[in-house]
């Protein structure tokens, strides 16, 4: 602080000598500028008593200010910031809408990506089976998701064994050994490797509906195995020996998963039923893979024939990006996407809906969401007026500062187009149960869609050739800690 004081004295001496040659008006202006400079120079290091005094003076103490302060301290911010004039009855008409099906509920788990990713397959299965309300077993797929993620983490620990434990990559791995979130690529890889089974063949468990507690114990076990792997590597163990140790330790992981989620079925006998529970045909024996191939009749490759489109204004458009480690299986696919301007992305989504094909869709669902009616509108809440400030970041800035990112996956099922064919609002099927929002759905204005929508997964046939040509580029590789890594929950 004494050094700063000496510097300021010298600067003031120079200012005074220079000021003797100026007019009175210029002297006043110089004095104001110098005063501001001194205040800034002091404030940039620490909150001194002088700075604190200035801050305290800036807080209004009017009766209105005191009343607002009391109200905010005693009530939920969302209730107080809700814009009353924006609470008119929901407009639920959509000019383009995919026929709905029974709604699902991920309960207290982060498996939205799994519920959403199997939505299109579920619709195809119901059509082929001639039934309504059919559901796949999400816990069956989730079991293998967790097993594969555990192996991905441990094998990555082996791959990075030569790096310092304080390196960014190793630290990222230790911080993120496993989770219940995910993306579409995980669904595609899991289904094509392990198949699918009906819900009544492998039922949900308490843990699968409430994953956080068990997940904490699983993370701790994986970190313990990881540190043992690194110590064995330092002691001279070969890669082959480390991988053998990994497989041995994975037996404990497998046992923990069976205790929490049940033993995955290998074969089962099953037949579809009507609404009254009557069998519609003679029961048949299946494996998970034969069941998937029969009831879904996959005509396309869930990876190669689908494209993930992103709207990320923080990076150049019309480029292909791949995020390292953003996959569920070690031998699976990293998340790869084409970054498009929103005006180029929206028509592709519309084309899919016009062909009655819903899409995997993800967004920052918590922003400006009215939970009581399911409306996503940038005008739902006026936080700035309530808190006496402004919130002015645009989408690019929100991404760069990690204030916003894709947090939840849902199924895009409808769009309303005006006379010029421009979207005015969109509709998504959620996985929070039929009582949430608008009968299990959320409705978003097109303005909200532009601000907080991040990605959709569409069949290649709905993409113009210009987008398919972009896919021929060599992907720009992004690190695992990139803001876009955020898993949907």
Residue 285 vs residues 121, 197, 482: alpha-carbon distances, Å: 20, 12, 45
Burial string for 413-441 (b: 16+ CB within 10 Å, else e) reads: bbbbbeeeeebebbbbbbbbeeebbeebb
Task: Name, in order, each residue with C-beta under 8 angstroms of 294's C-beta and a sequence gap of 6 or more.
Answer: 128, 286
Please check whether residue 463 is in contact with residue 348, taking contact to mean a CB–CB distance below 8 angstroms.
yes
Extended strands (E) in 295-368: 306-310, 319-323, 335-339, 359-363
Question: Cα separation of 78 and 370, whole Å?
Answer: 9
Tokens of 2: 């004494």
Please check whether residue 456 is in contact with residue 116, taking contact to mean a CB–CB distance below 8 angstroms.
no
Helices (DSSP H) in 130-211: which residue ranges? 138-159, 168-175, 184-194, 206-209
Number of H helices, E strands in the chain: 19, 14
The residues with which 355 forms a beta bridge, in sequence order, are: none
Which member of 138, 328, 333, 408 is catalytic?
Answer: 408
Whether 430 sits among the annotated catalytic residues: the reply is yes
Question: Cα separation of 212 and 197, whole Å?
Answer: 25
Which member of 215, 311, 380, 430 is catalytic?
Answer: 430
Please check whether residue 336 is in contact with residue 326, taking contact to mean a CB–CB distance below 8 angstroms.
no
Question: Cα separation of 272 and 426, whole Å?
Answer: 33
Question: Cα separation of 170 and 198, whole Å?
Answer: 39
Please check whether residue 343 is in contact with residue 331, taking contact to mean a CB–CB distance below 8 angstroms.
no
Tokens of 415: 């769009």
> How many C-beta atoms lie closer than 10 Å to residue 2's C-beta?
6
Residue 474 vs residues 48, 91, 316, 382, 449: alpha-carbon distances, Å: 53, 44, 14, 43, 29
The residues with which 375 forms a beta bridge, in sequence order, are: 370, 443
Tokens of 286: 């299946």
Question: Cα separation of 60 and 44, whole Å?
Answer: 24
Which member of 112, 296, 363, 463 is catalytic?
Answer: 112
Task: List, by residue number, the catalytic residues.
Answer: 112, 408, 430
């Amino acid at each position: 602080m004494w050094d700063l004081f000496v510097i300021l004295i010298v600067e003031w001496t120079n200012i005074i000598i220079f000021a003797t040659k100026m007019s009175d008006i210029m002297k006043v202006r110089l004095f104001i500028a110098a005063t501001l400079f001194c205040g800034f120079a002091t404030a940039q290091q620490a909150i001194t008593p002088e700075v604190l005094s200035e801050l305290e003076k800036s807080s209004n103490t009017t009766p209105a200010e005191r009343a607002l302060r009391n109200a905010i301290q005693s009530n939920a911010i969302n209730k107080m910031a809700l814009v009353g004039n924006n609470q008119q009855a929901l407009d639920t008409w959509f000019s383009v809408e995919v026929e709905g099906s029974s709604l699902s509920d991920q309960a207290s788990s982060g498996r939205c990506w799994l519920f959403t990713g199997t939505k299109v397959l579920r619709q195809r299965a119901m059509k082929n089976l001639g039934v309504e309300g059919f559901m796949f077993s999400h816990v069956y797929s989730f079991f293998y998701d967790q097993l594969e993620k555990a192996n991905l983490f441990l094998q990555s620990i082996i791959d990075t064994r030569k790096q310092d434990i304080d390196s960014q990559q190793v630290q990222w791995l230790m911080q993120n050994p496993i989770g219940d979130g995910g993306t579409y690529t995980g669904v595609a890889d899991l289904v094509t490797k392990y198949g699918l089974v009906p819900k009544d063949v492998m039922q949900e468990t308490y843990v699968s509906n409430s994953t956080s507690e068990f997940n904490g114990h699983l993370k701790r076990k994986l970190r313990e195995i990881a540190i043992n792997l690194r110590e064995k590597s330092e002691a001279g163990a070969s890669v082959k020996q480390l991988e053998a140790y990994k497989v041995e330790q994975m037996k404990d992981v497998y046992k923990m998963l069976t205790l929490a989620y049940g033993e995955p079925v290998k074969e089962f006998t099953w037949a579809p039923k009507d609404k009254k529970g009557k069998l519609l045909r003679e029961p048949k024996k299946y494996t998970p893979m034969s069941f998937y191939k029969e009831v879904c009749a996959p005509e396309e490759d869930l990876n190669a024939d689908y494209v993930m489109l992103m709207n990320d204004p923080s990076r150049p458009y019309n480029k292909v990006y791949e995020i390292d480690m953003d996959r569920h299986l070690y031998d699976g696919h990293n998340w790869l996407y084409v970054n498009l301007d929103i005006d180029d992305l929206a028509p592709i989504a519309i084309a899919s809906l016009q062909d009655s094909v819903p899409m995997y869709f993800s967004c920052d669902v918590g922003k400006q969401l009215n939970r009581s009616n399911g409306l996503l509108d940038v005008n739902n809440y006026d936080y700035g007026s309530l808190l006496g400030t402004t919130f002015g970041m645009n989408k690019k800035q929100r991404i760069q500062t990690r204030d916003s990112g894709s947090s939840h996956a849902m199924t895009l099922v409808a769009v309303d187009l005006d006379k010029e064919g421009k979207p005015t609002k969109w509709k998504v099927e959620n996985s929070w149960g039929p009582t949430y929002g608008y009968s299990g759905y959320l409705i978003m204005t097109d303005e909200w869609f532009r601000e907080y929508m991040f990605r959709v997964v569409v069949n290649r046939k709905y993409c113009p050739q210009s987008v398919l040509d972009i896919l021929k580029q060599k992907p720009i590789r992004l690190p695992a800690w990139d803001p876009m890594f955020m898993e949907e929950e």
